[in-house]
Chains A and B, each alone.
Chain A
Amino acid sequence: MLNLIVALAEEARPIIHYYRLKRMHHLHAFPVYGSDDIRLIVSGIGNLAAATATGYLAGIGDVTKSKAWLNIGIAGSSSLAVGEIVMAHKVTDETRQQHFYPTLCFEAVCKTAPIETVAVPQTDYVEGVAYDMEAAGFYSAAMRFSTTEMIHCLKIISDNNAGDVDNISAAGVVSLVEQRMDVISDVVGKLLEIINELVAENRGEQEMDFIRSRFYLTVSQQTQLKTLMQNWFALTDVSPLAMLNIDTLKTSKALLHALHVKLDELPVKY
């Protein structure tokens, strides 16, 4: 599952439209939209809102399946052009002076820049830095649920001098995001690809479900079973259920022992 955290409804609208996300009306704390593999939450402005929304999204789903996190929004900068989109290679929480370093595990599809998250809208910009109000809160929260390779921030420059920050209209924000959907969809695509690669390796779910329906397994036994299944399918594509006579096994202990024995008999070939 790819989780998108967006501060403003205007930032969210083009993304919702592009991915045909449906409103999840049963969720009331935040507006949440979803599809089979993407969820988007509109957090509101600010670090605390972004962190809370990130935690909320993690809490409402299966955390083991929430693999990637992407914060998308607008930012200000003195040196970057309006409309330019950047990916964060560093996120700084200006208030707490805390730094995060997203790890790029795919080729960057746009320029990268440091992002500084400020508590109030900033107009005194340092060259080369993009300023926002959510990235640090989002990143800090998301690190509890995933790894730095799967947590990223994309910011579209909406203003680059003191005057512009007051003149950003709702329609202007929508337009900025729409124009950068090419890069956004590229990054989303790459993250989904990585998620799918990781998920494809977890085999044996069907077999485990079947075994769990037939045997009572302690927590420790369930862990052992999961490891045995992983090891089994690393060596062969043939299901262990095809090689075990389950009906002759009376206990979970006997089952695990039988799996161990059969596993040891499997050929090892490179």
Chain B
Amino acid sequence: MTEANNVKKSAGTSSNLTKSQKEEPRIGVFVCHCGHNIAGTVDVEKVAQEAAKMPNVVKAEHYMFMCSKQGIELVKNSIKENGVNRTVVASCSKTQHGPTFAKAIEEEGLNKHLHFQANIREFCSWVTPKSKKEEATQKAIEYVRAAVNRSQKLEEIETRKLKTTKATLVIGGGIAGLRASMDIANLGIPVYLVEKQSSIGGHMTQLYKTFPTNECPQCSISPLTNGVANHPNVTLWTNSKVKSVEGSMGNFKVQVEHKPRYVHDNCTSCGECAENCPVEIPSEWDSGMSMRKAIYKLYPQAIPSTYVRDKKHCIECKTCINVCPVGAVDFSMKKAYDTIEVGSIVVAVGFDEYDPSPIEPYHYKQPGYEDVITQLQLERMMNPVSLTGSMILRPSDGKVPKRVVMIQCVGSRNDQVGYEYCTGVCCMFANKNAQMIKDLSPETEVIICYIDMRTPGLNYEEFYKKSQQIGVKFIRGRPSEIEKDPKTGKLHVYVEDTLSMQPMDLETDMVVLSAAMVPPKGIGILGSALHVLRSKEGFLKEFHIKMNPTQSSKEGIYLAGAIQGPKDITRSVAQAGSAAALAAAPLVRGYIEKEMILPTVADNCVLCGLCVTACPQSALKIEDRKVAVNEVACKACGICQPVCPVGAIQVINSREDELRDEILGLTGGSKAHV
């Protein structure tokens, strides 16, 4: 790997690796009360007393809050005053405050890997009733003993600086992907923007207006679509998708597949081809609310404006080839591939609207129920270029509806069909669309059937009030059924008004379903190509729901917009900005720091290759009859260790004998060097 040549030793940490092994361990143990969190259940004083008797422990203390400045001083002073050369803090999990103490001992000149956490909070006090203080105390002592045992053989590990590739991949050209691309490109970092549709803009460009200001989304987004398309730092690839991703934070290698467009870039977007194309099919972009040809562009302002041929529906009459004034149409175009190197990745592939067909009582898409549509279909109907020319008309007969009933939580908040989560956006877009119907067709009555009206945030509740003021009606109840009267052909919505506790039978001309936002189709394939985790609902999972909602489960891959969970445009844009900052940071800095926790291979290796196959990062290979470790790619996951039949491959500081020492501490064995 080329990265290996770029590896430099970072200043200050290039210490003698054998130093800590030569010195006799002098261990300091610090037991934290964590207020009542630990001390309420565990006798911390006794734990400290017992710790003092453990091998090589020269200092054992307890304190109210070890993570406070005073607590950290205790740890530091023990190094200065008692010659402590390894520390064990018995408090919370190692992900919570492990780094706090590691940094503290580093400031005192110790290698940070010589610190070890004993988790007596999550593993002990929090999961033991207060009435069992004695048992909890005993358990805490065992955890501390295990940590002390483990601490004995810890080695210093160096931190190295690795050079990063200055480029970012953004997947998805909707509002989140566009915002992230723009922000990153403006920092002078080259951006590859990959979009699977033939044009960028995403769902936002499908909307008629946006809440809470009822603005035109096309007008809001076009500076971004144009800006990104013309930005010198952005390489825009539409009709393309990510096939594979290798590598890690700082240095990814990505293969991108470009589907043939069958129209070259010299297309002037004159539209002759589409005008003459004899094939006409319902437009997916318009959710069936308009027709398109087999050669088409998604919408008039589409960027890029180059037409695209739909090979599936094309009858190959070649009229388009003949009428194109610039000869741009070319049926011989083939699939193409690009391999790019980037330092970070932003995933902004958005969402799909839930297809309500599985909810049988609503009869969506069933024959005779053409007047049951979704909010996205309504948006496309209201669009100026729709079949209805922006008028609210019943799909079945083209008449202006006297009454429209909207149903909330379709596919959301439903543990039987669809998803359990609240999409959180539908209350607002239903209010917005209700207002739009009243605007376009003032005579139409609009009724919204809801479970709870959820409009948190500035200007949102006000927006709901506005709907009430202009005469939109609200019924608190989830309709049980949409039924067509077999005699009259009229639609009926059955709902209980749970405020007056009255069952209601609403005869209506149209029903609009507020369908949930769900993970986009194909996210499984993309998710596994990226090696990132997904939530049980299928969205890409954030690293931490509170503290790091923008990073994926994998370092270097960031999430923007609805792919991390349903959200509105405002929040998608905000998260995109955050993703851009995180994705750009290591590239602007130019390097990342990597701790060299690596496996070592002993001479008894039989070259069976099991570890090479098992390594999820492809960091191992056999070279010159030896297992070679790619120090950059290795994530120290340790999976190579248990698969080795002879125990030759061992990860530093997690070697089998070290783990055995730790387990012995838990099971009652106190002898560290067994």
A, B: real partners = no
